[in-house]
Structure 1
Amino acid sequence: MTDLSRPARDLLDALREDARTRKKWDGTYKTGVHLPQLRSAFRAVPRPVMDDELEAAALRRYLGELYRHGVVTAMNGDDGEKIPLPKGVWLLPMRKRVPKIKEQAPAWHPRMREAARHWDGARHRTRVGLRALNNWFLSDPDLTPVPIRERALDVFGSRAYSGYFEVEEKAFDELEGSFFSNQGALHELVQAYSTPPQLVTERLVQEGGGYYGQIGDGDVLLVVENVTTCWSLIEALDGTGDHSVGYVVCGMGKAFLASLASTKMLRRGKIAEIRYFGDLDPTGLHVPAVAAERAAKDRDLPDVLPAVGLYDALLRIGTPLPRKEKQQEADRVWWLDPSHRAQATALMYSEDRLAQEWVGLRHLNGNSYWLEGLHR
């Protein structure tokens, strides 16, 4: 197309750009540009001005070049003027349409036969979820029932699935389609159960007034950032007497800062210190560090300290995954136990995170080292 005049090339480029902008045209099919848009594009094209040449004549001349090069064709009919112009032009395809390659379904595990019915009409992320679940079953996993967000990390807790979900532990919350929307069938399939929000157990309602779960007669208040891990820790602590935890509370992220002063109601000589366990990410460190600073200024509040053994478990068994929060500040790492600060600092600067749900019920029930900091 090098022998096209410069104004004709510029006109063609302007028409194609207009089609891309207005119609999301990808150049693989014929699309129309009507005369008003044609005139508008032409007026924006720099061109030499010839004495006494009318706009219609100039436009007609440059369109003639484009016709001869086979890049546009005229629509039927004209505007009926003295120098007739077509009612519009057809932009002809620039390239061939690339056929979509049908994504092949995996060889289904026997437990996933139902998924085969949902594959063909599923969106891409739903197919990612189906494939991940199938791969997990093929790995011969431990099917001991666990909370659903712990199970989500079992299935999606690798970098292969990073970027598909806001956070991997909530993947089952985000997946769409009829296969994943049937929560009862899904929980039965993956052998998982939901953990109720805020009111963590029946005993918590009966004995804790709806806010604190009394787990023993110790003098430690354990604050856990997320509901799932709070549930699992209550279950695990129930099975052992080797701790000094008196109460367990779900901190609900930043809500803990707003309710910190309410722990004075439990103080009354019974709570000697608060131990905190949360995600290892910027927010997960910000909350307890700020709480610790406030407690240090208020003589009626116990110290806010890390649950050392739980963070040790998280750093041992958790898989770091990319995080959405892009802050790289590591200034809150000081709050952690000295033995964990170097690893946590590296985690912050790598823009990864560790979800506390990695320390799941199976691990808690199978080990005891995580109790460090929870006995006095």
Structure 2
Amino acid sequence: MTPAPSSTDSKGMTAAPAHTAPMLRRMRNYWIATAMLYLATMGLLAAQVGAGYTPRGPALLLSVVAACGTLAFYALIHFSARLKIAPDMLAALQSLFAIGCIIAGYAIAGPLRASLLSMLVVAIAFCTFAMHPRRALLLAGAALAGMAGIMWYLQAIDPQGHPPAVEAMSFGYLAAALLATTLLASEMTKLRRRMKVSKQELLAALDTIRTLATVDELTSLANRRHMNELLGAEERRSAPATSCVALLDLDLFKQVNDQYGHAVGDAVLRGFAGAAHGALREHDTLARWGGEEFLLLLPDATPQAARQVLERIVTRVHALQIDGMTPARRISFSAGLAERRDGEPFTDAISRADKALYRAKAAGRDRIEVA
């Protein structure tokens, strides 16, 4: 007679209701397991009645209550999101219901009542795995209080059938078993949660590593390694449309570093990256190729369309104002643009773009040259 596990955070706070379909399916699966356990217990109870150990009337009443409760909890699980019932609250309610059924079973089980104590240990162990250890400890305390009350009542009304010394020793064994089970299960729960946190931290670290492997740390653009991967993928892509590449180089960048310092130089690189990225089309990629040099990949673009993108970048970059630089100092760049020929490796197109970039530099900078 075990409750469905719940979802709680590391501090034992109530989790959000089970809105997602996977969580709802998981809770239903646990309900099925719980229902099967209730069914098996009812079968044993019927066998006890047949053997004359347990009175028929109380056993039938307990079976009806258990069956109705099981169906009621299925409905609560099904409508938990709509009713805004948190999973751990459902687990607590099912735990209390299971404990109540076990206590009632102990009261009517007759000479087989000691076997019900093991079911109580199972229920509390399941509770400990299902919720925060402190809440499971409270449930264990409630179970012990309930068992203490029913044992005292039974020995008070029938000392012959329920000898006080036997009931007291049975309670002592139960208390020791519940305490040990709760503590051990709590430690396992804490270990499981630490492993979950460690797994989340590892996944976050892997995401960071993936990001660092593909993104330039200073400009947040693609780095050279990632751009080479994109170029290879673009070469393998069979598309009739043409593609272009452009090499962009910031003009007189060394003078910026010498005059204003490397911190301002880094700010210029970041400002350029942000301005240029905002002028790109959806599938264009700008990468930091090295130092103050950038490579622009323009898939499915004619030279005319690619030049329009570069001219938008020029407009945005000219409007940049960098803290620490005099307002009169305008940021500019030179660019060499090349169309990739049919079947041509991108290395050849980049080489032609590089030659066009040198012509732009030689012609006075702040200009775009087409290979």
- Pairwise same-fold verdict (TM > 0.5): no
Decide which structure has the larger Cα Rg and report it. Answer: 2
Normalised to the residue count of structure 2, the TM-score between the two structures is 0.22
Normalised to the residue count of structure 1, the TM-score between the two structures is 0.21
